[in-house]
Structure 1
Amino acid sequence: MTEQTLYVVATPIGNLGDMVPRAVEILQTVDVIAAEDTRHSARLLDHFHITTPLVAYHDHTDERQVEALISRIKGGESMGLISDAGTPLVSDPGYRLVRRARQEGIRVVPVPGACAMIAALSASGLPSDRFSFEGFLPPKSGQRINRLQPLVSEERTLIFYEAPHRIQDCLTDMATIFGADREAVLAREITKTFETIRGGSLQELGEFVASDPNQRKGEMVVMVRGKPKPAQDQGLDAEAERIMTILLKDLSVKQASQLGAEITGLKKKALYQWALDQNN
């Protein structure tokens, strides 16, 4: 085991069979493990016969505790960082500790494993080439809507974590902002006994959750398909055509498309294609 190293170790999100052998080896051999909830993590460590001492590191850890952990590593110890489940720093504590370690020149080594966001996306059937992880939304509806509103035109798949007691209200607000017909997938209790992965429109998912109290229990990942791109053969509206017609009198197709995109907010590619079509 390398001294003066911080290992960021992923742990299972439900099924203990997803604990990778390297993670077990690392946690068995480091000098200390920084855990989000030491009592929760103790059960995991007991299962894998890991007797390494635990110290607490969570959202409420103050800077003095962070510096104390950094001092231990600089003093020659190796440390494993784990969260309650999944990959640390993905909507879990760890950012401040990892940043301070890197600032101090301490080696930081990732030990990959389970991550609810990636697991859910891989089984969702939604586009996965480009996505945006938005984490947890605010608990109050007004704040939640304010967070969602800027994402209306986002074309990437949107991924959210949500608490079970807020899932119904969350889906309602999403339907209001994104539209009731926007495609989405709800992944619940991934890798656990009652795992559910359900797709449909936001309205359909809202009705599904409202009709079954069991769907309002457990860990939730909500994935919303990005804003659909306009059909390739969709023409410009009258105002956009008027602007482009004026610009093309004095500018090249490329220049007119660039300026037209800035004026109308439309995609440069669509304006460029329209201009080419006018010359054919």
Structure 2
Amino acid sequence: MSEDMDLRSYDPSKLPGNEIRFRDAEEMVALFEKAAATCRTQKGLKGSVIDVEAKPGARLVMTGDLHDHAENLQRILKYADLDRREKDVLVLHEVVHGGKYMNGMDMSVRMLARVAWLKIKYGDRVIVLQSNHELAQRNGEGILKNGLDQIEAFDLGLEYLYGEDDAKRVREAVGGYIGGLPLGVRMANGVMLCHSLPGPRKMKDFDMGVLERGVSEVDLVPKGSGHLMVWGRKHKDDQMRELGKAWGVSVFVMGHQQAEMGFEEEGELGLILASNHEHGVLVPIEMGKVYDQEKLARKIVRLAGVRLD
């Protein structure tokens, strides 16, 4: 445990969305449906990419995979300070499947709901990206960790919370919300934020036009371009240059891959972030400044240093 991490300052009663009645299926369905509608009306949304307008003095706060880490979500929100910094934007992604189970059940639908609540509350200023774990949950694709299928564990959690019939309704609302999440955020300074990119060997099967045209159902299932974009690892500079040229991007900030110390540089054009452990990080990106990988890496903020008291 980092010496800077003060667990005594972590107060679950201050988590966002505590007013949500998590055991109420009707309320959960309505929440996810409203969040999905809010995503559809996002300012700057073109197909499946959001072009963020550069505002003087504003910044965008990019995070890594969260994986149901409630304390780090508190630290992210404390740093982002959205209520006071009214021009700023916060980007979150991969919030489910934290590996914490109750008798084999995953309850991270509650974290998914908290983040959906943030999307509703802050509108265009909170962006939730498509990611492989959310998409796998929507599609019912198995993801094994420590011998346990995380998709099945999530579904069992829904059935425990709502009963078999209402769990189906909540699952459908969750799927509708996840299906509408954007693949990327593009900043005017050439920085692109996305959960991942296609693996180098999958580039031949990837339609780079998926960002501008938007996703259809065929894009979200295995072998589809949206699916490929959130599952790739070990990206190469020539691949990122090709994508950057097509999309008007000079550097990519992503998650998805393990970063034990919170971040890793990938080639010369990629920066990988993780926000789901004691070494988790975020990076604030000023909208009016131009960055390369090195300059972004120097901006890294360690969540352990963000005090909650």
Q: Normalising to structure 1: TM-score of the pair?
A: 0.33
**Structure number, greater radius of gyration:** 1
Q: Normalising to structure 2: TM-score of the pair?
A: 0.31
Higher relative contact order (CA 8 A, sep 6+): 2
